[in-house]
Structure 1
């Protein structure tokens, strides 16, 4: 039995060490989680479909042919085999730092002619570009003005007196009017 009693202090020491390690892991995990939430991974920009502007929708008129509609809006993203008289224009964009956008426009044809269309309100091209650039701006733009002292650094050097300037170069002979051929004639 003396062997078992000698193991008890080591077992007790091992149990205390294990409990300390487990306690430390939870506190390290909490601080690591806090650091990881501050870092955001890069998200790929995803653009799908056809962007349709307010100006393009304004150009649509009932009675237009399919070809005329295609010239205004481009080829539709979705053409349903079961609904051949319906074209769906869907546009989605997902960018980091910008709220995801999705817009739909559905056109209904009666044979070869546009009958009606319905969908989400579309932004103008200017509004759409402004929405794309709606990311958070960091810092301020510095003033783009230089003081007179800063500009003096870039002044051209003052002219030297006439005697120290080199003499002007002699005039060159005029160039020939006709040049010899590049390859020898045979």
Structure 2
């Protein structure tokens, strides 16, 4: 046995463990590897910035004050000290199973008055909400009307097995004992 292994026996244990581990890894079949590759880690949903809809952009008109723009769009994500006459609205969303979305809108001011705006084509609120829904939709819509044959299956029968009519049985089940005239006190008298 080499001198180093006499002084550090844990090296021998580590080498044997590594050899056994590598040998076990080579035993994975293609089927096992395929199953392991199908497992994906959870990715956190990342939403940054202000969502600006098509309706909000349509409400912007040149000549509005900064306060009016802020009331329509909200506070801008980026306000640059070196470009005080420019507000940038940036919106990004990254979700598992959905393609990432990124939208930009820049509003330019001349002093305290909005001069113009430029940016991406914004979706309507309805379109945006539809892109967030990742549930699988089945193409088949259930039938909501019953046919005459379906209704006949569930029609009430005239007599039950005791010979009583269904309406008499329902009336006897509906009889409830009368309520007491007075209820006992909730707390005991002291």
TM-score exceeds 0.5: yes
Q: Which runs of 5+ in 1 are unaligned?
A: 1-17, 176-186
CA shift in 2, pair 1:150/1:127, >3 Å: same
Question: Counterparts of 1:66-77 in structure 2 under 5 Å?
Answer: 66-77=66-77
Find the counterpart in structure 1 of residue 142 from structure 2. Answer: 143
1:106 to partner: Cα distance: 0.8
TM normalised by structure 1 equals: 0.63
Query: Which whole-Å CA distance do the structure 2 matches of 1:29 and 1:163 have between them?
Result: 70
Counterparts in 2 of 1:90-109, with a 5 A limit?
A: 90-109=90-109
Q: What RMSD over aligned residues (CA atoms) do the two structures have, in Å?
A: 3.7
Q: What is the number of residues matched between the two proteins?
A: 150
Which consecutive unaligned segments of at least 5 residues does structure 2 have?
A: 1-17, 160-164, 182-190
- Are residues 105 and 20 of structure 1, via their aligned partners in 2, closer, same or farther at CA, if it must alter by over 3 Å? closer
Name the structure 1 match of 2:56: 56
User: CA–CA distance in 1 between the matches of 2:45 and 2:118?
Assistant: 28
1:7-60, CA deviations, whole angstroms, 9 ceiling, x for partnerless residues? Answer: xxxxxxxxxxx9998565324175543222112222222211111111211111
Contact 2:158 2:166 in 1 (8 A): no
Structure 2-normalised TM-score? 0.61
1:14 aligned partner: none
Structure (1 or 2) with the larger CA radius of gyration: 1
Q: In the alignment, which residue of structure 1 is the partner of 2:82?
A: 82
8 Å Cα contact 1:97/1:136 also seen in 2: no
